[in-house]
Structure 1
Amino acid sequence: MLWKTLVFYLFIQLIHGNYNDPIYPVQNPCLAILDRLSDMSSAFLNCAVSRARPFKLCEGCVDNYARLQDLIGLLENTYSDVDKKITCKQFLESYDSIQVVAQLIAFVQNIWSSSFCDSCITGYNDTNGTIQYSLTDSTIQFIQKKMMFDMCIFNATGRIVPIIPIDLNVTLNTNVCTICLASYNDINDFFLQLTHGNQPGVCMDIVDTMNYTRLLWSKIYECRRHDPDYMAVFGISFFIPTIVLVFYVSALFKGERQQKKLSRQKRLPVHSTTAALAGTRTWLWSNPND
């Protein structure tokens, strides 16, 4: 009777047992990757939205993106069957007309690529749960120049530069435009070099930072940057019309002097005119055979 009670107890435990316990068979590896992919894609999207303003997606969300890339690689290198004929990518996308997993992966990768994050972050990967990445040299230089500009603003105003310079209460009679002109020109010229470089695009982290820097400089502190190239254009635009105007005015006065000179010429003597007419008549009525 005791052994029947023991069998019944084991049967009840089997029905209501904890299947997450290591003694039970693990979940299908493809479904396990799918669960992990769901969690990491949600984390990446939350990170991207929270860093939309100011735009700091590339450096702020590289951890989540690197882990997603690692999971995407597992989908192609992990098999759903014992014979290793069907990959998890094929298993999850087969018989699915909506292609949820494929569209999700494409959406995440499109956000990363359209932000040109690879232009400022390289070598990102997940190594045993630790995300390692490095910034490009141009990104490091831009950050250093931005720190120098912010420090100059702080020294000139005594106020820390806000992340988003909107509705900033500033005193416009400061010497910011004069003291920090060199720092602003330095970072602005460096940004223009990046935009004209050979890389496919400038990292949006840098672009957004530069946009706010220009907004702070021109709108908040009402500083204006006079580019020598623009000054040359303005000078040429003024010089050429002036030369043309002087040419036409001088030509007009010269023409008037010539007309006056022609009007003062003396008339031919009367006897000269009469002799000329007589000679003409003689020639007209003469015999050409003579």
Structure 2
Amino acid sequence: MKIHIFAIFLLNVCISIIHAGDAGVEGYKILTTTNLFINDQPVECLKLLDSFAEYASNFTMCSIKYARPVRLCEKCIDEYVMFTSKYKELLATVVNGTSCREIYFSLDRLDVILEYHDNILSIWNKGNCNECYDWTESTPVLSNNTILFKKIFNETVTCIKTTINPAGNNSDEVCSRCMEFYINLDKLYKSLSKDSIGLDSVCFDILDSMNTTRAVWSKDLNCCKRLKSPETIFFWCTGIIAFLPIMFYAMVRYLSPLRDLPRALKESRFKQSFLRSSREGIN
């Protein structure tokens, strides 16, 4: 009997030790996880986070600096590429079974890192900046259309600046000398845009440059009146041609023997029949 009680006692002791060990392991896991979020984040994740913050700051500063005139797409491409690269690296990096993504993303309502990423991406996409570049290579380069537009734009601006005087009283000379540059620039822009405005199809750097050039050309220099002259002549010629048939029929109506038509109607068949019927009634 005593042996039986002693065996049960030993069994209980062993079970207690096992449970104590399990509790210790579980407590260790909780402590490790807590420290991971509070203090003991992997060094690799911290370095990536620092780089991400640095490039986010660089892009923000660059985008503000080149907000007016808009040159964000061209001037901030390096910052944008590094920013997106560090973001992808931050998502993909795993250190000793610990994912950097699990540490920094979707843990609270603020989700600061994701918000900053989405905001910067929104600015880039809103400017349609990808359209400025050729992305077929490992690194983006300015597309041929962008390079050509910059060339003609610079030629147009140079022509205007070198021709106009400070008093601004020689706009007619500017219009004449720079007309070809402006027309070529406008044609190229229209070929790049999928609609009349180009908001959803043209890189915003190009869009802003074209809008500024058009404003100077039409409002400041008043050069559009020269472009409207051929259109005015065309409309006048069209109106005259359309009026010729009306004038012809009017001349035929009032200047020909048809003027005697009312007199002929007096002796019409209808009147003769009416008179014949009246005579027969009297008889």
1:226 corresponding residue in structure 2: 227
Alpha carbons of structure 1 residues 34 and 260: separation in structure 2 relative to 1, 3 Å: same
Query: Map of 1:71-82 to 2, 5 A cutoff?
Result: 71-79=86-94, 81-82=95-96
Is 1:138 the counterpart of 2:138 in the alignment?
A: no
- Distance in 1 between residues matched to 2:110 and 2:233, nearest whole Å: 59
The C-alpha deviation readout for 1:106-154, integer Å capped at 9, x for no partner, is 11111111111111123499x9xxxx54110100110111122233224
2:45 corresponding residue in structure 1: 30
Identify which of 117, 123, 126 aligns with 1:105.
117
What SS class does the counterpart of residue 119 from structure 1 fall into? helix
Richer in helix (by share): 2
Alpha carbons of structure 1 residues 52 and 249: separation in structure 2 relative to 1, 3 Å: farther
| Greater RCO (Cα-Cα under 8 Å, separation 6 or more) | 1
TM-score (norm 2): 0.68
2:217–2:223 contact (8 Å) kept in structure 1: yes
- Runs of 4+ in structure 1 off by over 6 angstroms are none
What SS class does the counterpart of residue 175 from structure 1 fall into? helix
Report deviation, 1:27: 5.5
Alpha carbons of structure 1 residues 195 and 262: separation in structure 2 relative to 1, 3 Å: same
2:171–2:222 contact (8 Å) kept in structure 1: no
Report deviation, 1:234: 3.5
1:170–1:220 contact (8 Å) kept in structure 2: no
Identify which of 188, 196, 199 aligns with 2:186.
188
Q: Which moved more, 1:187-196 or 1:227-236?
A: 227-236
Tell me, which stretches of 5 or more residues in structure 2 are unaligned? 1-39
1:76–1:88 contact (8 Å) kept in structure 2: yes
Query: Map of 1:111-126 to 2, 5 A cutoff?
Result: 111-123=123-135
- Distance in 1 between residues matched to 2:85 and 2:274, nearest whole Å: 114
1:119–1:199 contact (8 Å) kept in structure 2: no
Identify which of 71, 76, 87 aligns with 1:56.
71
2:175–2:223 contact (8 Å) kept in structure 1: yes
Is 1:277 the counterpart of 2:250 in the alignment?
A: no
Report deviation, 1:173: 5.0
Alpha carbons of structure 1 residues 95 and 152: separation in structure 2 relative to 1, 3 Å: closer
2:160–2:178 contact (8 Å) kept in structure 1: yes
The C-alpha deviation readout for 1:206-244, integer Å capped at 9, x for no partner, is 111111111221122221152699558845873586368
2:239 corresponding residue in structure 1: 238
Tell me, which stretches of 5 or more residues in structure 1 are unaligned? 1-24, 160-167, 280-290
Give aligned pairs, total: 237
What SS class does the counterpart of residue 141 from structure 2 fall into? strand
1:92 corresponding residue in structure 2: 104
TM-score (norm 1): 0.67
Alpha carbons of structure 1 residues 26 and 173: separation in structure 2 relative to 1, 3 Å: closer
RMSD between aligned residues: 3.9
